[in-house]
Amino acid sequence: MKEIVIISLLGIVVLALDVLKMRKLVLPTILLGLVGLVGVSIADWGHNETPFAQYGGMLTFDNTALAFTIAFATIAFLWFVLAGDSYTSGSSDRTDIFALVLFSLCGAVVLSAYTNLVMLFLGVEILSIPVYVLAASNRKNVLSNEAGFKYFFLGSLASAVLLFGISLTYGAVGSFNLQAIQEHLAGGYYSPLVLIGTALMLIGFSFKISVAPFHFWAPDVYQGAPTPVTAYMSTIVKGAAFAGMFKLFGSALLPLPEAFTTAMALMIGITLIASNLTAVVQSDTKRMLAFSSISHAGFMLGFVLTASTTSPKYLIYYTLTYSIASLIAFFVIQHVAAIQNEDASTDAFKGLIKRSPVMAVSMTVALLSMAGIPPLSGFLAKYYVISSMIANEHMTLVIIMILTSAIGAFYYLRVIAAIFTPIDNAGRIMISDRMRRSLAVLSVLLVVLFFAASLLELI
């Protein structure tokens, strides 16, 4: 509970600072608050191990929830550091955007700790509504407006579907509480109401995490939204939706009827094939990364599919490593595109190694990590998915994952090849010292997380 109070207060304080004309303090306050959030989460570690018990059965900050919270707070911290440069310091737009991100982050924390379907729905809404606004925050840009609209309409449709599913489940079980639902289903009997409810919840989540066949909104929204917002969507929003989904399908709804595992397996297969094949033909890197993000959602859905035997810590690891790589990639794209009339095509990256070695190297590291090359943590993340798929004997999916990983390497390497292609008259791209340092730290993190993977076993 403390976690949610902190994060909500932080958002309000930030808005107050803006009113009080102390805009210079906004970013330091946020960073300090997020450090505090991590600190409180660590202090709570191990104290709340009884599941389904706290706050009237609404929220439980057990270790998994705390680990998710820490991961989201860390990613948010990194996002704020990188996004600090993206908005004019001292403008009130900046404060608004930052406050919206904080409120959305609050939803992410709720989603990782909910133990009640009402909180699940609230979490999804708190997470999404600020992002609808953020997607359209580049008010004078048509594409950004389109992205906001699209995201809003499809997102609210998904929320409605999710809510309908929740209400049907409630109708059958008579309770919103996850524990009650679990006990109700423990016998293995799924009444028609629960069946339909589960199906609808699955569809609702599939929209949020953007897996096929509910992914069509994602490329347009990712491409149209301002790049920092895209970075936020592909990291925390996606990760939080997965946290919520994992808890629902990994504990409350067990044992899942076979129809659902089959459906999920099919969705993973279609997602991986469709997104990777489409990514190959993209010339715009931002759009390519949108498809790559869908592909990673396919991988992450593998954890949900095997949730009954897989620990959520591997999902957290995947979220964290993918998010770090994603942050690097999107912010590098933003800075590269900014000086070339918003051209984010692969050609715009030509000669980047000369024009900005730090961005070039960190982008390379990020892309290689996404491709799953050791010794970068993206490899271990993929390894955990494939490992759990093999343990659950989804061999067809494993083969698809391998084939699509090779395809993935193809489009990531195309950008890397462009980065290292020399060009004439290469002007240097100037970035701030803070940006340079943060990119370096993030790249190193991708290596460190690989070697320090045993930390994960603490969860």
Partner 1 sequence: MLTLILLAIPLFAAALSMVAGAKNARTLALGAGILELIVTLAAFFVNGKEGSEALLTFNREWIGPLGISYAFSLDGISLVMALLVALLLPIIIYASFNRTFKHPQYFYGLMLLMAASMMGAFTTTDGLLFYVFYEFALIPIYFMILHWSEHPDKAKITLKFFIYTLFGSLFMLVSLLYLYNISGSFNMQALYEAGRSLSGSEQGWVFAGFFIAFAVKIPVFPFHSWQPSTYDSAPTAGTMLLAGIMLKMAAYGMVRIVVPALPEGVSEYGTWALALSAISVLYASGMAIAQQRYKLLIAWSSIAHLGVLSAGILSGNAQGIQGGIMEMLSHGILSVALFFVYDIIESRLHHDDMRKMGGIREVNPLFAFLFFTIVMGSVALPLTSGFVGEFLLLLGFYQVSPWLTAVAGLTVVLGAVYMLRAFQSMMLGSASPAMHSFAPLNNHEKTVLTILVVLVIVLGIYPDPILSVANPSVESLLQGLNR
Closest CA to 427 of 328, 332, 336: 336
Q: Which stretch binds partner 1 (CB under 8 A): 82-90, 121-129, 238-246, 374-382?
A: 374-382
Burial class (CB in 10 A: 0-12, 13-18, 19+), 118: middle
Closest CA to 412 of 318, 289, 275: 289
CB 95 within 8 A of CB 14: yes
CB 161 within 8 A of CB 204: yes
Would you count residue 444 as binding partner 1 (CB under 8 A)?
A: no
Q: How far is CA 147 from CA 76, 143, 219, 222, 367, in A?
A: 22, 6, 9, 8, 25
Q: State phi, psi for 177 to the nearest 5 degrees.
A: -75, 135
Smallest separation, CB 288 to partner 1 (Å)? 15
Smallest separation, CB 420 to partner 1 (Å)? 5
Smallest separation, CB 92 to partner 1 (Å)? 45
Closer of 338 and 361 to partner 1 (Cβ) = 361
Q: Which stretch binds partner 1 (CB under 8 A): 155-163, 168-176, 203-211, 409-417?
A: 409-417
Q: How far is CA 405 from CA 69, 208, 372, in A?
A: 29, 23, 8
What residues between 330 and 369 interact with partner 1 by CB under 8 A? 368
Q: What percentage of the chain's residues is helix, strand, coil (to nearest 5)? A: 75, 0, 20
Would you count residue 374 as binding partner 1 (CB under 8 A)?
A: yes
- Give the residue, chosen from 173, 379, 442, 443, that forms a contact with partner 1 under the rule CB under 8 A: 379
- Give the residue, chosen from 254, 409, 440, 447, that forms a contact with partner 1 under the rule CB under 8 A: 409
What residues between 77 and 106 interact with partner 1 by CB under 8 A? none
Closer of 89 and 283 to partner 1 (Cβ) = 283
Under DSSP, the state recorded for 284 is B
- Give the residue, chosen from 31, 373, 440, 441, that forms a contact with partner 1 under the rule CB under 8 A: 373
Exposure string (b/e) for 78-89, b if CB count within 10 Å is 16 or more?
Answer: bbbbbbbbbbee
- Give the residue, chosen from 122, 199, 413, 441, that forms a contact with partner 1 under the rule CB under 8 A: 413
Smallest separation, CB 459 to partner 1 (Å)? 11
Peptide bond into 255 cis (omega under 30): yes
Tokens at residue 442, please? 């993030």
Q: Which stretch binds partner 1 (CB under 8 A): 59-67, 147-155, 236-244, 417-425?
A: 417-425
The single residue listed with the structure tokens 């991708």 is 446
Closer of 153 and 451 to partner 1 (Cβ) = 451
Residue 351: what residue type?
G
Would you count residue 406 as binding partner 1 (CB under 8 A)?
A: yes
Contact set with partner 1 (CB under 8 A): 368, 371, 373-375, 379, 383, 386-387, 390-391, 398-399, 402-403, 405-406, 409-410, 413-414, 417, 420-421, 451, 453-454, 456-457
